[in-house]
Amino acid sequence: MASQSERISDRPKSDVETAAGTQAKHFGALVRERREALKMRQDDLALATGVGRRFILELEAGKASCQLGRALVVAAAVGLRPFDLMSANNDDDNALLPDLSDDLPDLEDDGRG
């Protein structure tokens, strides 16, 4: 019998998962670009932000499962703000946060709104 992780890895990825992977790579590239522009080593950035060098390595490599809070601390340390991340590539093909609302199910009106 296949394990749960094997079953999950065998299923096709949704548009949201695919976009998240692409955007994680873009996010990592932005962080690396800013770090290099600041002439910082990965070790320096890790020390300055209280994370391990491995976290910086994985973040810059585009690992989609990096912890968001820690990733935002690292981004802020190299001068990136959430607005910069959202507007980095503002065309439809390369937007950091693509509009996936058409992929979401409609919400039923439950009378609370």
Res. 31: pLDDT tops 60: yes
In this predicted structure, what is the pLDDT of residue 112? 54
Q: In Å, what is the CA distance from 30 to each residue of 38, 72, 104?
A: 12, 12, 28
CATH code, 16-88? 1.10.260.40
Per residue in 50-79, pLDDT (tens digit) is 999 999 999 999 998 888 889 999 999 999
Percent of the chain with pLDDT over 90: 40
Question: What's the pLDDT score for residue 92?
Answer: 47
46 pLDDT higher than 50: yes
List the domain boundaries for the chain.
Answer: 16-88
Q: In whole angstroms, give the CA distance from residue 68 to residue 20.
A: 12
Of residues 102, 89, 103, the one with CA closest to residue 26: 89
Between CA 99 and CA 20 the distance in angstroms is 12
